[in-house]
Structure 1
Amino acid sequence: MENYVFDGSFEGLLCAVFNWFERRPGQVKLQTEAVFQPDAFVPCLHIVNEREKADRVWKGLQASLSKATLRKFYCTYLSELEEGYTALFEFACYLFIEGAAIENNYGNAYVLALSKIAKKVEREKHRMEAFIRFQHNADGIYYCGIDPDFNVLPLIATHFKNRYADQQWIIYDLKRDYGLFYDLSKVEEINIDFNQWQKTTGIASAIVSEKEGLYALLWKDYFKSTNIQARKNTKLHVQHVPKRYWKYLTEKQFKQD
């Protein structure tokens, strides 16, 4: 057994695969630097990121896998789960040894793990697309702060660019401290200095548009007026809209009966 330690980046993961085939050390335990605990009795290799090696592995994956499986691979990486990184490493090694036919071999634990983890990430992506609510700030930019379980910003960028093509917006991942900014032509990654911004799912009241409060009030009134108490089914509602997403919804920002 040998420990492979990488920095948690996609490039680092691919370089770990390259190093395994270059060195053939036998059984390996892949860990990120964030969780690695040195063991005096287990040899350790710290993976050095090299773009050329990572590109060779990625091109090999692209040549061997369908687009659907490549997306599962990437979604599993975005889960940021240690077991996800292990599954990706073992899956890639298994693929390059056995050939492309293994991608649908769900009898293999790592092929199955990719499918299960990717499904969770895709579910989080769809929920973010459904539940994100923007606030209009005084600069004319629409803002929403989120803290998803998984790193789904790369997966939702196209959806929001297409849906809100006529307005500038920011979606900021508070947990990972980066966001997406759309300037009416392109989407780019940004970082915000929260010394001036309130670090919540909303934005500081001082920079909210004067009309934002009215819009929120009108939406809440509409929601109340269309809500039929006699047909209220809280259990079913929570199944479709879990409580942890309520903080994103304007209509939930008042006392529930």
Structure 2
Amino acid sequence: MQTVFIYDGSFEGLLTAIFEVYELKSDTVHIVTNAHYTASFFEEKHEVATNTQKAKRLWKGILKNAKPTDANLIYRCFLSELPDMEQSILKYVQLIFLHKQSVAKDFGEAYVFRLAEINKKIGREKHRMEAFVRFRKTKDGIYFSSIAPDFNVLPLIESHFKKRYADQIWCIYDISRNYGLYYDLKKVEMVHLELPPSILSSSTSIFEEEELNYQKLWKNYFESTNITARANQKLHEQHVPRRYWKYLSEKNLLEW
């Protein structure tokens, strides 16, 4: 009978679940988050309590038997939040402990190939977020940006923005996952906010009027330099996919 390991959705929780798969010597296993669990008469249920020590022991074992490349791949693919991602990560970890070496390039294994393909998608999303995020200055002096990426890439873009905007107080908020990164000129921390609806629009009650005027000037410049007769919409959307237009001031799609 299959055993379902139910965890809280955190990365530490997933590592704890995989540790307990080995600890309990479970053979037929399915790992799922609390939010996606559906009870079945044909399965045994095992609830996983996130345990930092167990998570650290598994992580240490991964690094000991494989390479940082493998650990990085596991973490990045976890951030994809794709259905059944836990199973692919479990199988990947099992391959590491079976072979006692890195399996990152063993593309003959279906689970390795799947994680490699997902990692490419994660990389593209990270790159686009770094390129397309636009800040707007609020009246209290914070440069604010709201995003809704396909994958949970905020942890991956933190370093980029901390280095690039080291002299500004900023906040990048993922409205689809309801958390953000806040930088206070010294450190970056994770925050959860109750955002008013007007934060997603060009509201003078939140943003500086000078900032809104700058956006209008930028949009006018963009329109004036665009040569309609030479427009190649298909090529344009290849470089700047339509789903990213909502981040760009020049597209005038701030309300979404």
TM-score class normalised by the smaller sequence? over 0.9
Partner of 1:87: 88
SS in 1 for 2:209: coil
Shift of 1:149: 0.9
| CA deviations over 1:21-69 (Å, ceiling 9, x no partner) | 1122212111111111111121121112111111100111122332333
| CA deviations over 1:49-97 (Å, ceiling 9, x no partner) | 1111111001111223323332211110111123222111111122112
Letter in structure 2 aligned against 1:191: H
SS in 1 for 2:128: helix
| CA deviations over 1:98-144 (Å, ceiling 9, x no partner) | 22143321111111111111111111111111111111111111111
Query: 1 CA distance for matches of 2:200 and 2:87?
Result: 32
Identical residues among aligned pairs (%): 45
CA 1:200–1:108 in 2, change beyond 3 Å: closer, same or farther? farther
Partner of 2:33: 32
| CA deviations over 1:176-234 (Å, ceiling 9, x no partner) | 1111111112111112122xx32654464301102012101111121122212222000
SS in 2 for 1:151: coil
Structure 1 unmatched runs, 5+: none
Query: 2 CA distance for matches of 1:93 and 1:146?
Result: 35
How many equivalent residue pairs?
252
The ranges of structure 1 where at least 4 consecutive aligned residues each deviate by more than 6 angstroms after the TM superposition are none
Q: Within 5 Å, give how 1:161-172 maps onto structure 2.
A: 161-172=162-173
Query: 2 CA distance for matches of 1:144 and 1:164?
Result: 13
Give the TM-score normalised by structure 1. 0.93
Partner of 1:13: 14
Partner of 1:241: 240
Partner of 2:251: 252
Structure 2 unmatched runs, 5+: none
Give the TM-score normalised by structure 2. 0.93
SS in 2 for 1:139: coil
Letter in structure 1 aligned against 2:168: Q
Letter in structure 2 aligned against 1:193: E
| CA deviations over 1:2-24 (Å, ceiling 9, x no partner) | 21211111111111111111122
Letter in structure 1 aligned against 2:214: Y
Partner of 2:229: 230
SS in 2 for 1:80: coil
Query: 1 CA distance for matches of 2:203 and 2:235?
Result: 34
Letter in structure 2 aligned against 1:224: E
Partner of 1:184: 185
Partner of 1:49: 50
Query: 2 CA distance for matches of 1:201 and 1:247?
Result: 10
